[in-house]
Amino acid sequence: MAIKRGFYLFSGLSSLALGLIGIVLPVLPTVPFILLAAFCFARSSERLHTWLMQHPWFSEALQNWQKQGAIRTGLKKKAYWVSSASFALSIYIVPLIWVKILLFCFAVALLLYLRSIPEIIEE
């Protein structure tokens, strides 16, 4: 049981770190890593889970996802724009054609996934 808890704690901390890096690093998505961190913390550390669920940057999105399995329309649009811009910049910068193709495929997959997420209409 302690190994399982330790695994979830390590995975949660790693996911949180990647999510925070994803705020400033193109191509690294923030939201999925923060959602994964919340999932892992719920199974390993009540203190870290509570902290993340009450954090001013993430609490609203996490609670919307937890209660409704959806995100705000504005957040979804922002995710489209930031993801598209990050992938476009990365594709432009990378010199290898096979990497450009791979990045394009990841971009399409991410945008299709974002499209499938239900929206909370903002009032």
Specify the pLDDT at position 92: 94
> For residue 70, is pLDDT > 70?
yes
pLDDT band at residue 31, thresholds of 50, 70 and 90? confident
CA 95, chain centre distance (Å): 27
pLDDT band at residue 123, thresholds of 50, 70 and 90? low
Among candidate residues 10, 4, 5, 59, the one with its CA nearest the CA of residue 35 = 59
Q: Are 49 and 38 in contact (CB under 8 A)?
A: yes
pTM here?
A: 0.69
Q: Are 109 and 87 in contact (CB under 8 A)?
A: no
Specify the pLDDT at position 99: 93
Residue 30 has what DSSP assignment?
Answer: S
For residue 96, give the amino acid letter.
L
| φ/ψ (deg, to 5) at 114 | -60, -40
Residue 1 has what DSSP assignment?
Answer: -
Average model confidence (pLDDT) across the chain: 87
CA distances from 107 to 6, 90, 103 (A): 33, 10, 6
Residue 118 has what DSSP assignment?
Answer: -
> For residue 61, is pLDDT > 70?
yes
> For residue 17, is pLDDT > 90?
yes
pLDDT band at residue 26, thresholds of 50, 70 and 90? low
